[in-house]
Amino acid sequence: MDLFAPDTALTPIPLRDGELGWLAQLPLPWPNEVVLARLIAETAWREETVVVYGKRHLQPRLSAWHGDKAYRYSGLSLAPLPFTPLLDTIRLAAENATGRPYNSVLLNYYRDGRDSMGMHSDDEPELGPAPAIASVSFGATRTFSLRHKATKETLKLPLTDGSLLFMGGAMQANWMHGINKTARPVGARVNLTFRNIE
């Protein structure tokens, strides 16, 4: 038996030069609003500083890193916290839905529309040549923007409460993605990106 054979079918989202899959609701033992409230209350949120072109900035969001290995980007090294039972339950659901194993998760807390994440690719060498990332969202819907590195083609996906977006194949090599700020009044959102660090 394949331990990681998915038990829930993802809907493929057609994408040039990359793989995207969508599940509107990740099956979990609690309602989404309970998971959101617990993630906000129980996570050791940090306001991280990043160094971009030699200048230090506070990131416009809160974050936390759980897993077995440290994680580095933009000159920042996040010390990993162990997986909690809550995170383990969500990880198992994400593994079942995507058929991939994950040993780490980056949590991001967007407190309101002023919080955001700049365009980037999750292409660190420790994620391997074709990173498999399961992105699970709770709370307010925010727009996930994608831009093809060569053609500059763009795509916008609303990431709704309880959804899972799978990114795989050559997606990180060919596309950048991010969460724009919005002037719309939006509530809190927590996103979890499950990754496998080699």
Ligand X SMILES: O=C(O)CCC(=O)C(=O)O
Q: Where do contacts with ligand X occur on this chain (CB under 6 A)?
A: 106, 108, 117, 122, 135, 144, 159, 177, 179, 191, 193
- Rounded to whole angstroms, how far apart are CA atoms 118 and 90? 25
Nearer to Fe ion, 90 or 133 (CB): 133
Give dist(CA 70, CA 168) in Å, integer. Answer: 22
Listed residue (192, 135, 195, 193) closest to 165, CA to CA: 135
DSSP 8-state code for residue 161:
T
Residue 117 CB, nearest distance to ligand X (Å)?
A: 5
CB atoms within 10 A of CB 141: 15
In terms of CB distance, is 91 or 195 closer to Fe ion?
195
Residue 136: which of Fe ion, ligand X, none does it interact with, CB under 5 to 8 A by kind?
Answer: none
Nearest residue to 190 via CA among 134, 133, 107: 107
159 alpha carbon, distance to own chain's centre: 11
Residue closest to ligand X when measured from CB atoms: 191
- Minimum CB distance to Fe ion, residue 119 (Å): 9
What's the gap between Cα 54 and its chain centre? Answer: 26
Range 107-126, binding Fe ion (CB under 5 A): 122
Q: Binding pattern to Fe ion, positions 121-150, x when CB under 5 A?
A: -x----------------------------
Residue 136 vs residues 48, 114, 149: alpha-carbon distances, Å: 21, 20, 24
Closest approach of Fe ion to the CB of residue 176, in Å: 9
Q: Which of 7, 52 has the CB closer to ligand X? A: 52
- 């724009």: which residue's tokens? 180
- The least CB distance from residue 110 to ligand X, in Å, is 7
104 binds, among ligand X, Fe ion, none (CB under 5 to 8 A by kind): none
Enumerate binding residues for Fe ion (CB under 5 A). 122
